[in-house]
Amino acid sequence: MSKQYLSCGSAGNAHPTDIYGLAVTDKFCLSASGSSSLKVHTTVDPDFPLVQSLDGAHKLGCHHVVTNAKGSRAASIGFGGEIAIWSCHDGVWAKDSTAPANQTGSAGIWAIALSEDGQYLAGVSQDGHVKVWDLNASGEEIRDYETKGSFGTCIDLSADGRFLASGHENGSIYIFSTETGRMPFSLSGLVKPVRAVAFSPGGKFLAAAGDSKVIVLYDTSSGEQVANLSGHTAWIMSLSWSNTGEYLLSGSFDGKVKVWSIDARACVATHSETEKSIWSVRWLPKVGRSEGFATTGASRSISFYREATGG
């Protein structure tokens, strides 16, 4: 089985430097790069035009930008370690004054994630702490989980908000229950640095990948490894689940982008339009029956793909 995705446009030279972070809502695609502005492109218009530039967002550049499911709130973290919270009103993004991030980001946070409703911000720090802040309560820190101190490279929150997963430089992967504050089980982890973790939309699986070039699927009810997806030949930098959870998208340092069928446990599409490293991949909201995704990285452009239909 294979699937075909066609290039359906791109935002060329969206940033003057490498683009590291991508976040997608039902209408917008937010991107973060080694320059100080965040860029907002619309995904509704087939030409994906730039609609807003959030200038001066992060002085030294920004490496992660995330949004909640509704697309009402976003969070970004800069290379200087500062976290900014954004909200969207009537299609315009602005600094979120109701969610001061004054207490957040003080602890060497590297990667961040937002809960579905946008109320909770989670972050993993360079010294391996996993923290949660309540943005509706002045950014108060409500959780602080300690791990073994390895650099936290990636984090994700499950859609129902019950679980938090973090990936670390030493290959460790942790799952925490946000209700009990405990680890329901320990995961076997990877041998090399983990670069991406992602819960499936239904929360059944956790996918993890990184320098070992393999994507590992864990069953979140048992913590067991249920599949190894191999095929990438370079470090895997980013993962994203399709809206239905049928497909997993991955991007690697050699510029390759792959689509994996979860049922078949196999790669169903490979894109190698660039040799420049892919830093981030994200599925786009479904339009009709057709699914699509966006990829970005050292090419400094954002590329958009749609599933070939009606064949």
Partner 1 sequence: MSSIPQTEYPLNTASPSPTEEQNHSRVKDYITNTLSNLLTELCSPDGHPSITVKPRSTKVSTRFINPQTGALETHVSEACTTYTWPGKDCYEAWRFTVAMRVLSGIADAVDKGVVVSKSRDIYYNDPAIFGSQRIVDRLVDDFAHTVGVDRTALNVGAAAKGLVVGCFQWRIQDPAMVDDAHFFNPDTLVPRPQDIQGLEVSDIEWVLILEKEAVYRRLAGMNYHVRSMAGLGILVTGKGYPDLNTRAFIRRLYDESRRRQASKRIRFYALVDGDPDGMGIMSTYKYGSLAYAHENSALNCPDIQWLGLRTSDIVAGVDPSGNDALLSLTERDRKKILAMLSNNPVWAVDGPEQEARAELLQMLMLNVKAEMQILYDGDGGLVRWLDRRMTHFP
Contacts with partner 1, residue ranges (CB under 8 A): 16-18, 20, 34-36, 59-61, 63, 79-80, 126, 151, 153, 169, 193, 211, 234-235, 253-254, 277, 279, 298
Please, what is the minimum distance in Å from the beta carbon of residue 124 to partner 1?
13
Tally of CB atoms within 10 A around 116: 14
| Cα–Cα distance for residue pair 172/124, rounded to 1 Å | 13
| Cα–Cα distance for residue pair 280/266, rounded to 1 Å | 21
| Cα–Cα distance for residue pair 279/63, rounded to 1 Å | 9
Please, what is the minimum distance in Å from the beta carbon of residue 222 to partner 1?
31
User: Which CB atom, from 113 or from 284, has the smaller least distance to partner 1?
Assistant: 113
Q: Which helix (H) or strand (E) holds 216?
A: strand 214-219
| Cα–Cα distance for residue pair 297/255, rounded to 1 Å | 8
| Cα–Cα distance for residue pair 73/160, rounded to 1 Å | 17
Please, what is the minimum distance in Å from the beta carbon of residue 53 to partner 1?
14
Please, what is the minimum distance in Å from the beta carbon of residue 37 to partner 1?
10
User: Which CB atom, from 193 or from 251, has the smaller least distance to partner 1?
Assistant: 193
Please, what is the minimum distance in Å from the beta carbon of residue 13 to partner 1?
13
User: Which CB atom, from 46 or from 80, has the smaller least distance to partner 1?
Assistant: 80
CA nearest to 296, candidates 262, 261, 260, 249: 249
- List Cα–Cα distances, 282 to 87, 127, 149, 157, 201, in angstroms: 20, 27, 29, 16, 13
The contacts of residue 45 (CB under 8 Å, 6+ apart) are: none
User: Which CB atom, from 192 or from 204, has the smaller least distance to partner 1?
Assistant: 192
**184 phi and psi angles, rounded to 5 deg:** -65, -30
Please, what is the minimum distance in Å from the beta carbon of residue 279 to partner 1?
7
User: Which CB atom, from 14 or from 99, has the smaller least distance to partner 1?
Assistant: 14
User: Which CB atom, from 156 or from 169, has the smaller least distance to partner 1?
Assistant: 169
Q: Which helix (H) or strand (E) holds 214?
A: strand 214-219
HSE toward the beta carbon, residue 242, CA cutoff 13 A: 21
Please, what is the minimum distance in Å from the beta carbon of residue 32 to partner 1?
11
CA nearest to 52, candidates 35, 37, 70, 65: 37
Please, what is the minimum distance in Å from the beta carbon of residue 67 to partner 1?
20
User: Which CB atom, from 79 or from 185, has the smaller least distance to partner 1?
Assistant: 79
User: Which CB atom, from 5 or from 20, has the smaller least distance to partner 1?
Assistant: 20
User: Which CB atom, from 106 or from 225, has the smaller least distance to partner 1?
Assistant: 106
| Cα–Cα distance for residue pair 306/73, rounded to 1 Å | 26
Please, what is the minimum distance in Å from the beta carbon of residue 295 to partner 1?
16
| Cα–Cα distance for residue pair 281/241, rounded to 1 Å | 10
